[in-house]
Structures are given as structure tokens and as C-alpha cells.
């Protein structure tokens, strides 16, 4: 992997524990970091974001090598590993911090994201309308250290990981086995 040519995408699919664990498994992904983006509070804490007043979404900063995996491929995974039709909710997780969001850094990325969204809307993947926000990227704040690599560190000791995160990651691995590291 050529670290000099790395790019990044900021993706919000609800709980960042799931998103981070999924994107880290893809060939061409250098890192996946849990954090917050899209709000108006500088350096928010998890408690502040969960308090629903910061405007931030739980997101993952996916750093990748565009020679090995494209933004389009990352978006294909994005649309399929969460439900982009439920506003401010993913499963039992409810609140504005769980809204489906993609941040773009320039007009070219915005066009790629909008095209990808239109293709998903035209497909039969989701019956309900897509509610994913597409927003200009401003700043990403990494989450506290205890959120990073959460599934790997906590795993079976947390019921949420056992019943929500692990099944989601296993389904992803089955559906995208040709794209795994």
C-alpha cells in the first residue's frame, strides 16, 4: 500500500463500532477510525454527542489507497451494511447521532456520491426512500480511545457486540468475501 497516495472518506452508518469493524476488513483500507463529524461543537465527547445537541453523527474516517479500492467500492459497501432509509435510527439505536451520512471533500466526490445514491435508489435494494445526508466535509474528531477497535478489544464481553455488531460484521464478510484482506 502506497501511503503517499492515501485518501479518506467520512461515512456515518449509525453505530461506529460496526462501521469501523467492517471497513477495516476491506482490501485497500489502511485504517478506520471512529469519530464524530457534521456538528457545530468543537472536540465533542461521546456523552455530548449522545446528548443529541452537538449536531454530530457517529462516523468512521476510512483511509484507503485509491489504487486498491475506489470510493465507488467503499460506497457500495456503505449502502449495503446499514439501513439508509431510517432517519436518525439504525436498529434499536435512535437519535440524530445515528443518521446515515456521507461527507464529501470536493465537487468530484460529491458527484460520485450522488451518482452512487441514485443507482441505489433505482435498484431494488431498499423499498423505502433513501434518507442519507450528503454534506460538505468540514472536520472530523476522533472518538475517545476506548471506542477505537472496540469489537476487537471488547467483543464477547459486551452484549451489544454479541447481538448487533458481530452478526453485522459476519454478514458483511459473507457478502463481500472477495473484497476482504
Residues serving a catalytic function are: 15
Q: Cβ(175)–Cβ(143) under 8 Å?
A: no
Q: Cβ(21)–Cβ(169) under 8 Å?
A: yes
In angstroms, how far is CA 38 from the centroid of its own chain? 13
Helices marked H in the chain — which ranges? Answer: 16-23, 46-50, 71-80, 107-122, 150-154, 159-160, 166-175
Residue positions counted in the chain? 181
- Give the contacts of 44 (CB within 8 A, at least 6 positions apart): 36, 54, 56, 141
Radius of gyration over every alpha carbon of the chain, rounded to an integer in angstroms: 15
For residue 95, count CB atoms less than 10 angstroms from its CB and return exposed for 0-12, middle for 13-18, buried for 19 or more. middle
Amino acid at each position: 500500500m502506497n501511503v503517499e497516495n492515501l485518501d479518506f472518506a467520512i461515512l456515518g452508518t449509525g453505530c461506529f463500532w460496526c462501521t469501523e469493524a467492517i471497513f477495516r476488513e476491506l482490501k485497500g483500507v489502511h485504517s478506520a477510525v471512529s469519530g464524530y463529524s457534521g456538528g457545530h461543537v468543537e472536540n465533542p465527547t461521546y456523552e455530548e454527542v449522545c446528548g443529541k445537541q452537538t449536531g454530530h453523527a457517529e462516523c468512521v474516517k476510512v483511509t484507503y489507497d485509491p489504487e486498491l479500492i475506489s470510493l465507488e467500492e467503499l460506497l457500495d459497501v456503505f449502502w449495503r451494511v446499514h439501513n439508509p432509509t431510517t432517519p436518525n435510527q439504525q436498529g434499536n439505536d435512535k437519535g440524530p447521532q445515528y443518521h446515515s451520512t456521507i461527507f464529501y471533500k470536493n465537487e468530484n466526490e460529491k458527484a460520485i456520491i450522488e451518482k452512487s445514491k441514485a443507482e441505489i435508489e433505482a435498484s431494488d435494494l431498499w423499498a423505502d426512500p433513501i434518507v442519507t445526508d450528503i454534506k460538505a466535509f468540514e472536520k472530523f474528531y476522533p472518538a475517545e480511545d476506548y471506542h477505537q477497535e472496540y469489537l476487537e478489544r471488547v467483543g464477547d464481553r459486551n452484549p451489544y457486540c454479541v447481538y448487533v455488531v458481530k452478526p453485522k460484521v459476519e454478514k458483511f464478510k459473507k457478502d463481500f468475501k472477495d473484497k476482504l484482506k
